[in-house]
Amino acid sequence: MSTRIFGSGIRRREDPRLITGSATYTDDLTLPRMVHAAMLRSPHAHARITAIDTSKAAAAPGVIAVYTHADTEGGLQPAPCAWLLPDSDLKIASYHCLAKDVVRFAGDIVAVVVAESRYQAEDALELIDVGYEPLPAVTDPEAAAAEGAPKLHDEIDGNQAFHWKVAGGDVDAAFAGADVVVKDRIVQQRLIPNAMEPRAALASFVGATGELTVWNTTQNPHIVRFLTSLVLGLSEDKIRVIAPEVGGGFGSKIAAYPADFLTMFCSRKLNRPVKWTETRSENYQSTTHGRDHVQHVELAAKNDGTVLGLRCTVHAGMGAYLSTAAPGIPTILHGLMLSGVYTLPAVHEDVYGVYTNGVPVEAYRGAGRPEATFMLERMMDVLAARLDMDPADVRRKNMIPKFDDGHEVVTTLKYDSGDYPGALDKVLSHADYAGLRAKQKAGPANGTYTGLGLATYVEICGLGPSQVAGAIGFQGGLWESAIVRFHPSGKVHVFIGASPHGQGEETTFAQIVGSELGVDPQDVKVFHGDTDNTPMGWGTYGSRTTAVGGAALALTARKIRDKAKVIAAHLLEAAVEDMDYEDGKFFVKGAPDQSKTIGDIALMANVAWNMPEGVEAGLEASTFYDPPNFTFPFGAHLAVVEVDAETGAVALKRYVALDDCGPQINPVIVEGQVHGGVVQGVGQALWEEAVYDEGGQLVTGSMLDYALPRADLLPDIEVLSTVTPSPHHPLGVKGIGEAGTIASTAAVYNAVMDALRPLGVTSVRMPLTPERVWQAIQDARQAKG
C-alpha cells in the first residue's frame, strides 16, 4: 500500500465546486413544464380537523391543484417506519402524508398546493380554510408517558411507542453490594440538526413510460427508492432516485418524508415535474429533530472507585410519529453502548419510546451514542466527586485494558480493538492536566471559576453486519457495494452505493483506489447518489461510508490487482506466482526494471489484443462487502472552561480532542470531521435547544431563538490521534463522522460542573445558558443558607 496516497492530507476534490457556487443542489434544478408545491402545515400542536375548504385556493391565480388527505386515499400509503425494533412491543402509528382527521404536531401537513410559481403556491395556502378543534398537547417525553396525559393516537395506550430493555450481569446484586450509589436525572434536550441546505424534492413522473425520477436531499437514495415503491405503489425498477449535491444532513436526511412523497404524488397526478423546497422555518417545524431524552441514571460503585453496575430508565421523545429509523436510535445505538470504555459488570436499562406532540425525532450526529456517553461520563464525574477522587483516576481504574482483537462487554457487543488508557493518558499529558489541576486549586480569580471536564468514549460505527441488521429489526441490509472500472487510458471510474453528502469521500475513495492500485487520485472519479447509475447501497449514516463502502472499494481494487497481475505475467512471459507488485507496477520478482504499469494493463485489457488464455477483456470488478462486525472508534476529550459566577457566563477556553478512528486515509478530512463534530456537541452543552411552549408551539422557530454555535465562541480545537486498526477491516479504518459529537457534550458539561463544584452546584439542565448557570448558583447559595 502506498503511504504516499493513503494517509496524505490532499485537498478535498469536492471543494472547488462547492466554494465557487458551481455545485448543483436539488433546488438548483429546473425541468421543462415544472410546477411548484407548497405545504399547508398545521399551526396547532394537536387538533381535530373539523372541515377543510380548498375552493378559494383552487381558484387562485396559477393554482393547478390542491390536495387533502381524501385525495390521496389509495394513491399514497403512510410514510413507513423501517426499523422494527424486536421484543419491544413496538406500536407504529400511521404517519399519513396528509393529516387524516387529526393533526399531531405544529407542522403536520394538512394540504398541498401545486401552482405555476412558488409564490402562487405559497399565497394560495392562505386561502385554504381549515377548521380546527384544538386538543390538549404534550411535548415533554416524561409528561407524555404519565397517566392522564393527552393521548396522541387512539389505538396506542400511554403514548408508548415501545419499551425496550438491555440487561447484563446481576444489577440488583451490584447495587446491593455497593459502597456508594450516585444518581442523576439528565435531560438530553431536543436539538434541531440545521443542515446548511434545507430539504427539497423534485419529482418527475412521465405518464407515457410510467417512470418516476426524483431528485432528493437524502443521505440514502436507495432506501428512498425502496420506500417510494411501497408508498406510491410503483415498481422499484420504474423509480430513479438521485441525490445530487446534498448540503449536509447530520441524520436529518435519513428519513423518507411525507413532503417528499407528496411531491412525487403530485407529479404523478399531474404528469408534470413538481418541485418542493422547504424554507428554514419549515425545516425547523418539520424536518426531524434529535436527542430528547429524560434519563434517570444510577451508578453503583465501591469506595475505591470500582464501578459495579449501572441502572437507568430513559423516556425518549419520538415526536408525533415514528420516523424512518427512529426506534433504533435510543435503543440499539444507545443502550448497547452503556459499557463505554469501561469494565461494567452489570447493567439494566429500560427505554420507553414516547409519542409527543413534537416534530418526529431521528438520528442526529452521534445518534444514541452521545446520549449514552453523556450518561456514563457524567456519572463517572459524579462518582469521582462523591469519593473525592480525580475524575481521570476513576476512569482509569475502570477502563478496559488495551486489546487488539476483540473484547466482549456486558451488553453483548464485541469491541474490535482499543487502547482507552493510552488515549486518556495522551490527552492528559498533552494538556498538562496535572498543571491545570494545580492552577485550579489556587482558587477562583475575580469571580471566575475554572473547570476541567473529561469524557472518554467508544462508539459503534461501520453499521454493520447485515445478519445483525436483520436481528435488530432494521428493514434492510447494511452491506455496501462498489464497482471499479479502468478505462483504456488508465483513468478510473468508481461507482459506489454509499451516498456521501459533505464528508469528502470523493476524495478519500479516490485515495483508496489510488493507494491500492498506484494511480493518481486525480485520475479516479467517484460516482454516487444515483440509483440508476450506481450499485445498491444502504446510505451514509452511522459513520459507515468509509468503514463499509471503503472496504468494498479496497477489496474491489484488490480484485483488479489480481487480474492485472495475471495479464502482466502474460505480457512479461512469466508465471503468475513469480510476479511482484509495488506502487502500481507489476514485475518479475527480482527484476523491477522490466515492469508493466497498471495503465499498461488497463490499455491491454481494454483493447484485448494479447490476453492470457481464458481471461476476459476489460479491467473492472465489483464487490459486495458485508462487514463481519461493527467498528469501534474511541477517544478521550478534555474541555477547559471558565465560569463567571456573577453572570453565569461560560467561556470555553481550551478543547483537546483525541479520536482514534484507526489508520487515517486523509488526516485533513479527519480533522475537519472532528472539528464539526466537536462544535455540534459543544452546541448541545452550551447553547442549543428546541423549545416547545405548553401549547406545543415551537418557540425556537428560527435562528433568532435557536442558538447555533458561532466561531467567535470557540477556541482553537487541539486535535490529537492515536492509531489502533480494526482487526477485521481490510484497511483497518473505523469511521470518524460522528466521533467529535459523541464526547464533547459530556466533556464541556463536566467542565462546567467541575467549575461550579466549589459553589455547591451539582446539576444544571442543558444548555448551560448564563441564566441557568446563574440561577443554579443562586439556588445553591440559598440552599447553603
Partner 1 sequence: MNINASYTFNASPQAVWDLLVDIDAVAACLPGLESLEPAGDNRYRAVLTMGIAAVTGRYEGTVELQDLDPPNAYRLAVEGRGKPGFVNGGAAIALRDTGGATEVTVEGTVQVGGTIARVGQRLLGSVSKMMMDRFFACLQKRVG
Site residues (CB under 8 A) for partner 1?
A: 43-45, 106, 125-126, 281, 284-285, 693, 695, 697-702, 704-705
Task: Compare residues 465 and 701 and give the one whose CB is closer to partner 1.
Answer: 701
Cβ(415)–Cβ(495) under 8 Å?
no
Task: Compare residues 382 and 698 and give the one whose CB is closer to partner 1.
Answer: 698
Q: Which of 354, 350, 323 is nearest to 334 (CA)?
A: 350
Q: Which helix (H) or strand (E) holds 133?
A: strand 129-134
Task: Compare residues 229 and 700 and give the one whose CB is closer to partner 1.
Answer: 700
State the nearest-atom distance from the C-beta of 505 to partner 1, in Å.
35
Cβ(320)–Cβ(358) under 8 Å?
yes
Cα(565)–Cα(558) distance, rounded to whole angstroms? 10
Q: Which of 41, 44, 252, 40 is nearest to 693 (CA)?
A: 44
Cβ(544)–Cβ(558) under 8 Å?
no
Task: Compare residues 46 and 637 and give the one whose CB is closer to partner 1.
Answer: 46
State the nearest-atom distance from the C-beta of 270 to partner 1, in Å.
25
Task: Compare residues 45 and 329 and give the one whose CB is closer to partner 1.
Answer: 45
State the nearest-atom distance from the C-beta of 188 to partner 1, in Å.
22
Which residues, 6 or more positions from 271, have their beta carbon under 8 angstroms from its beta carbon? Answer: 205, 206, 207
Three cell numbers written together for 682: 459543544
Task: Compare residues 106 and 686 and give the one whose CB is closer to partner 1.
Answer: 106
> Residue 41 carries which side chain, given as an amino acid letter?
R
Task: Compare residues 434 and 699 and give the one whose CB is closer to partner 1.
Answer: 699
State the nearest-atom distance from the C-beta of 35 to partner 1, in Å.
21
Task: Compare residues 126 and 582 and give the one whose CB is closer to partner 1.
Answer: 126
State the nearest-atom distance from the C-beta of 302 to partner 1, in Å.
50
State the nearest-atom distance from the C-beta of 148 to partner 1, in Å.
21
DSSP assignment string, 672-735: HHHHHHHHHHHHHHHT----B-TTS-BS--STTTS----GGG-PPEEEE------TTSTT----
Q: Which helix (H) or strand (E) holds 595?
A: strand 591-597
Cα(688)–Cα(709) distance, rounded to whole angstroms? 8
Cβ(113)–Cβ(40) under 8 Å?
yes
| Residue pointed to by grid coordinates 440552599 | 783
Task: Compare residues 126 and 771 and give the one whose CB is closer to partner 1.
Answer: 126
Task: Compare residues 37 and 294 and give the one whose CB is closer to partner 1.
Answer: 37
In terms of Cβ atoms closer than 10 Å to its own Cβ (0-12, 13-18, 19+), residue 2 is middle
> Residue 714 carries which side chain, given as an amino acid letter?
L
Cβ(506)–Cβ(246) under 8 Å?
no
Task: Compare residues 230 and 691 and give the one whose CB is closer to partner 1.
Answer: 691
Task: Compare residues 695 and 770 and give the one whose CB is closer to partner 1.
Answer: 695
Cα(247)–Cα(28) distance, rounded to whole angstroms? 12
Task: Compare residues 45 and 554 and give the one whose CB is closer to partner 1.
Answer: 45
State the nearest-atom distance from the C-beta of 702 to partner 1, in Å.
5
State the nearest-atom distance from the C-beta of 63 to partner 1, in Å.
15
Task: Compare residues 618 and 695 and give the one whose CB is closer to partner 1.
Answer: 695
Q: Which helix (H) or strand (E) holds 641?
A: strand 634-644
Vertex 329 angle, CA 236 and 471, to 5°: 65
Cα(445)–Cα(249) distance, rounded to whole angstroms? 42
State the nearest-atom distance from the C-beta of 397 to partner 1, in Å.
47
State the nearest-atom distance from the C-beta of 701 to partner 1, in Å.
2
State the nearest-atom distance from the C-beta of 493 to partner 1, in Å.
46
CB crowding 140-165: b at 16 or more within 10 Å, else e: bbbbbbeeebbbbbeeeebbbbbbbe
Cα(310)–Cα(247) distance, rounded to whole angstroms? 39
Task: Compare residues 475 and 697 and give the one whose CB is closer to partner 1.
Answer: 697
State the nearest-atom distance from the C-beta of 54 to partner 1, in Å.
15
State the nearest-atom distance from the C-beta of 43 to partner 1, in Å.
3
Vertex 733 angle, CA 731 and 737, to 5°: 145
Cα(653)–Cα(126) distance, rounded to whole angstroms? 49
Cα(315)–Cα(75) distance, rounded to whole angstroms? 36
426: Cα separation from own chain's centroid:
27
Length of the chain: 785
Q: Which helix (H) or strand (E) holds 118?
A: helix 118-125
State the nearest-atom distance from the C-beta of 356 to partner 1, in Å.
17
State the nearest-atom distance from the C-beta of 68 to partner 1, in Å.
18
